[in-house]
Structure 1
């Protein structure tokens, strides 16, 4: 192991994911970048998670297993691995996801080369039961103006693969993790208000649709949120974005309240317009499939 390389911490919050957790752990420990620590925070799992983790701990001392006696909720578990991290750089990894072998080395290289960059991720790819379904949104946020990066982030984000990118640990610790629908969006919006963000096209984070990528209803249940947030997710996210920009975002706090309200109102409208356009697109595709099915029936 090259101790001259900056230490990278990989945090894997987990709960009852024993069947897929090994894949996630092994993808982190098998990186071509060797100076890493992998932190698995077990939220009082009732399956074989503990057995799986202890088995891997016996094989590789870079893995640290933390087991909690009671389930404290997903957000606190995500926060726990961040606060325990010793690395200069940090990333979260889903307990049913995995990363390419060169993922960390590619991200570290870009972070070291440009101190203005706060986040680097690979290209997100999505799977169901191991079969690839689609590629996530691919974009970078390299504009010099912080507010432009925030606007473009909220305008482009959908699957939020950037959340599983590599970030500067100390900067990330300054940001509050919200227990709300779209809390991951607001966290990354705060990161890009501090610095630029980039995606590296050569490597990918592979995400299984199920755990943290499940339906809005499942997300609300796992976070202990009111059902109304699952019924109107984009409205909840839009309101959260407004609150984030006016009261919480790192760079926004330095600006006048008037400019913050204008920016927040614009982003609020942008998210709702994007949601409406996505809904219209889904309805058009559904109608097209129905018409096609009916036409085949009468042939």
Structure 2
């Protein structure tokens, strides 16, 4: 069977994933659902990721390996994996996470049965570097509501966006602007998908999110919290470095004045404006935002402070270079 006829496309964006990627690929290949293509988009890895992926691609014609000439940032690499896909359904896979053997099968059964569901995922629990159980992820959402404004408001709550690793209707992704290059890009993507249809969460622990020092969350959260990461409520009470996330999602943001929290707010509002909702539903989304975002207003002011710091630093660097060139 040719890749163009596969029902499911699986996108695996990766950068320097040699430590866990074999286990992740094996987990996909051992799924009970086998009618898929696996697209690996390597973001210019500098370790042995390329060698490992080419080894797998040579053994299984369902696997296609692509390598970017340079690191294009997380968002563009995720999007590239989707753009290379052909399936009716699509799923992103992280190089370090694992799935139960029947995860995909059960997700596709739900999507096949109910056309109002655009994304299907499952309960989640955390595993450590050795794959051993740490704890369950206990944050649940009412994203199965028939009302899009309720799904939207649910996803405004701070969370870890694990739903993005569910199985999604490819047509729904094409109707959204994909993953954008800003902080909270995954959360904004989920907001936009939720405005198109319901999410379904399988009431079984079939997705295993790996917790380790190299993951993105570890890079942008305070070290004292990560040392006690078993406390989910405490972790969620502290916002990560969204400037750092914006650079991680899009490397072109590095060193720029980007107002990350203003950008996030703007993208949330744009999500409502460009959605297919009627004006009453859009108004309901807007009216629900203040309550959900209460307590985060100071972050907009924080952006202004950060912009001032960058401007001051750039000004100092300019005068230092000018002084050297002028012999001063």
Q: Distance in 2 between matches of 1:178 and 1:220?
A: 9
Assess if the C-alpha contact under 8 Å between 2:184 and 2:245 holds in 1. no
Assess if the C-alpha contact under 8 Å between 1:89 and 1:168 holds in 2. yes
The Cα of 1:167 is off from its aligned counterpart by 0.5
Note closer, same or farther for the CA distance 1:237–1:24 as it changes in structure 2 (3 Å cut). Answer: farther
Alignment match, 1:148: 150
- Does residue 1:255 correspond to 2:282, yes or no? no
- Does residue 1:134 correspond to 2:128, yes or no? no
Assess if the C-alpha contact under 8 Å between 2:149 and 2:282 holds in 1. no
Assess if the C-alpha contact under 8 Å between 1:103 and 1:204 holds in 2. yes
The Cα of 1:60 is off from its aligned counterpart by 1.6
Q: Distance in 2 between matches of 1:168 and 1:24?
A: 22
Assess if the C-alpha contact under 8 Å between 1:94 and 1:212 holds in 2. no
The Cα of 1:46 is off from its aligned counterpart by 0.9
The Cα RMSD (Å) is 3.0
Alignment match, 1:165: 166
- Unpaired runs of 5+ residues, structure 1, are 277-299
Note closer, same or farther for the CA distance 1:229–1:242 as it changes in structure 2 (3 Å cut). Answer: farther
Alignment match, 2:25: 25
Note closer, same or farther for the CA distance 1:118–1:79 as it changes in structure 2 (3 Å cut). Answer: same
Alignment match, 2:201: 199
Assess if the C-alpha contact under 8 Å between 1:39 and 1:65 holds in 2. yes
Assess if the C-alpha contact under 8 Å between 1:122 and 1:203 holds in 2. yes
The Cα of 1:133 is off from its aligned counterpart by 3.3
Note closer, same or farther for the CA distance 1:275–1:100 as it changes in structure 2 (3 Å cut). Answer: farther
SS at match of 1:198: strand
The Cα of 1:265 is off from its aligned counterpart by 5.0
Note closer, same or farther for the CA distance 1:61–1:203 as it changes in structure 2 (3 Å cut). Answer: farther
SS at match of 1:109: helix
Query: Is the radius of gyration larger for structure 1 or structure 2?
Result: 2
- Does residue 1:222 correspond to 2:223, yes or no? no
- Unpaired runs of 5+ residues, structure 2, are 221-239, 299-328
The Cα of 1:109 is off from its aligned counterpart by 0.3
Assess if the C-alpha contact under 8 Å between 2:149 and 2:284 holds in 1. no
Alignment match, 1:287: none
SS at match of 1:219: helix
TM-score (norm 1): 0.79
Q: Distance in 1 between matches of 2:116 and 2:144?
A: 9
Alignment match, 1:293: none
Q: Distance in 1 between matches of 2:94 and 2:262?
A: 24
The Cα of 1:158 is off from its aligned counterpart by 0.8
- The correspondence of residues 2-151 of structure 1 with structure 2, limited to 5 A, is 7-130=7-130, 131-136=132-137, 137-151=139-153
Runs of 4+ in 1 over 4 A off after TM superposition: 225-230, 235-238, 273-276
Q: Distance in 2 between matches of 1:112 and 1:265?
A: 34
The Cα of 1:6 is off from its aligned counterpart by 6.3
Alignment match, 1:271: 293
Q: Deviations over 1:38-85 (max 9, x none)?
A: 111001111101110011112221111111111111111000011111
2:265 to 233, 239, 243: 239
The Cα of 1:268 is off from its aligned counterpart by 4.4
TM-score (norm 2): 0.72
Q: Distance in 2 between matches of 1:238 and 1:164?
A: 21
Q: Deviations over 1:169-192 (max 9, x none)?
A: 011122112211111111111111
Assess if the C-alpha contact under 8 Å between 1:186 and 1:241 holds in 2. yes
Alignment match, 2:183: 181
